[in-house]
Structure 1
Amino acid sequence: MDLQELFCLVNDFLIARDYTENTAMYISLIVNCIAVGIIAFLIDYVIRRLLIALAHRIAPKTKNNFDDFLIKNKLPQNLAHVIPILFIEQVSPFLFVDFPDFQHGFLIAIDIFLVILVIRVIRSILNSLRDFLKTLNAFKDKPIDSYIQVFMIFVWMVGIILSFSILTGKSIIAFVTTLGALSAVILLIFRDTILGFVASIQVAVNDMVRIGDWITMEKYGADGDVVEINLATVKVQNFDKTITTIPTYALISDSFKNWRGMNDSGGRRIKRAIIIKAQSIHYLSIEEIEELKKIQLISEYVTNRQEDISTFNTTHAADKSLLINGRNLTNIGVFRKYVESYLENHPAINKDMTIMSRQLAQTPKGIPLEIYAFSQDKVWKNYEYIMGDIFDHLLAAVPYFNLEIYELNMDTSKS
């Protein structure tokens, strides 16, 4: 006995129970729909359990974890839903044999639902591909989300076109032609999406930003690591753990600083100045020079420089009754050399990169003596510790050269 005979028997039974023919048809329709729904649910349940069990048995035996992501993104469940829908579509002519108008609408709804199910299957595959590629070293820092979103937008557009074609009964070509006339409106609606897509391609091709890069973008208040790049936005986790969202196309339209070059190099730059009070700068006397020779890092330098200067002054008959005559050592010059020697001997400083102690232009506050070097350790916490350790020592060393550090006097009390 096939399904059509079964539906007819139900209808004949209801007529035999003294129901009118119309009433019997409606009750028969309801009963048959319930029966088909129960059968479809059981088919869905059985197939879903079978597919999930089969997937869990096969997945551990494969070499890669792509199938694990297929399970995680519910591909077996989505595939299982397709078969019951096809079953309902096949039996619908028998269900609605007495209701042709209703059958037509029902089949349209079933076809649209099938389109949605296919889209869900494709989405599961694309999401699995995205998750799988993110596990590969070659794609970890690439904007995979952007490309997956573009594919999904294309899939949804095709799905919407198919759905409208099914709903209206018009051909796909006619529908696409209509969309062509509305292209200006479509471009306006999807402006950010299109800009984001173009920006994502340019960012990837030009290798401007990768996931994990530290970027600074003052316009958007971003200063931290890039954690996600998708079609519309770039998410940056700032160092205070807040999240800043930047439009993807802003990466090619606005300026920003990417610190990847620092991370890829051999060190992180230290660039900070000590401000020396101008009044404390003077020529060194013989007594002061002899005292500075006791400092091991510059003992040889001071000795050699003193000999060179003495030879020059003797040759040129300089009158040393005044220190200004001839050549002389200054306390700030010797201190500058000490700073440079200290940096060159510091174990945390990269010796292959620039090491310099330079005097900057005079300011109303004094003479800035800038330290320019690169720490070997680029981790923020360790970098700050190294820089603090260097300046702790240098600030404590300043008085040994009879120099003073500028400090703003905030005492406003009257004498």
Structure 2
Amino acid sequence: MGLRAHRRSLAARRLVLMLPLLAITVVLVLVLDYFFADSPVLVGSLSLLLMLPVAMWLIRLQLRPMLSLFRALTGSVTSFRDGDFSFSLRWPGRDELGDLVDAHNELGNVLREQRLGLVQRELLLDTMVQNTPVAMLLVAEGGPIVYGNLAARRLLNQGRKLEGHALDAVLKLAATPLREAMARGGDGLFSVGEDDEEEVFHLARRGFRLNGRAHELLLLRQLTVELRRQEVQTWKKVIRVISHELNNSLAPVASLAHSGAELVRRGQIERLPEILGTIEERARHLEGFIRGYARFAKLPSPRLETVTWPEFVSRLASQIAFGVIGDLPEEAARFDLAQMEQALLNLLKNAHESGSAAGDVQLSVRRHSGTLRIEVLDRGTGMNDAVLTNALVPFYSTKRSGTGLGLALAREIAEAHGGRIALGNREDGGLMVALVLPA
């Protein structure tokens, strides 16, 4: 409050300094009027002639500090533009110019703190990018490499800098699979090396505009260790499932065979047909189990053919019961008839085994936004979050005698056709499984 009491406006200070000039002017006019009373024009001219230099000198004296301040402001703003925020200014008066100087200094402090924080974040980001195991390349339109981290340098240029080099020139020295993956465009996997030295990489490409110019970000991630770890886990799971199924079938077969041999030794052959029938049933179950795994592992590439929907749905209906929601598309579709039939039969079979009434198992086929959506719906118990998360994983099953291949095989078939599979619980109970294919 005390400082506020001593505040004086810029206009007031200028007025106080002009008062002596006004007083001198009045005195000078009175003196000249005393000597030249008969010539007022002469009095005015002499007064103006004598006081104009004094007024100019006094105005210049008052404006000199202000002009110096304005030059300093111009210089400091130029420094701000160049990224130097270390300058501050000082103004002795507590007036509007003082407020301007205070605001200028405060702005400099804020910009300096922001610049320091930005530099620290840039250092942190650069440290993270440089030390990530993912090779990162930023390429400008036309081919010159704008940025490459340490992993990219080691992978593509023996640890040397990549900035400024043309991407095509760098790729000429790279492995052939990498050049082929780049030529294909889009994301994808490729392998470098052979046998035990094979390395698997994932290539991701994203385009964007930077400073009005097209750029592309290339990410090369080595997946060998991760894939091998997943491969080992998958094999362990396969072996565990197969061992469990083999034990469940072979143990009773061995026991029944021993019992049959004992009955033959005793001459009691009345129960032999029953025992042999049970052995045959277990053997056929085991045969079907192994055939299912072989079919999943040897799924061939789809052989596309034109299929009309009424004919296809009739083929399905002759093998399993279901209802149809809405009208079938009039346009024919192109897919592998046998594979798509196998996928939908698996889904319809799962729907019947979900606890749903047979009349609530339904099929819907419709076109939407350039895609073909085939839905299998039921009113069973649905799936909880844990089951939904793992339902498409091969060999995962919640059924006592399930192989965990039905949904996984349907997904493989959908993806082989360039589509995908989607699962979701229905609002009023039950499950929806959709095959989304290119139209």
* Global fold match (TM > 0.5): no
Counting helix residues as a fraction of each chain, which structure ranks higher?
1
TM-score scaled by length of structure 1: 0.28
Q: Which has the higher contact order (CA 8 A, sep 6+)?
A: 1
Counting strand residues as a fraction of each chain, which structure ranks higher?
2
> Which of the pair has more CA radius of gyration?
2
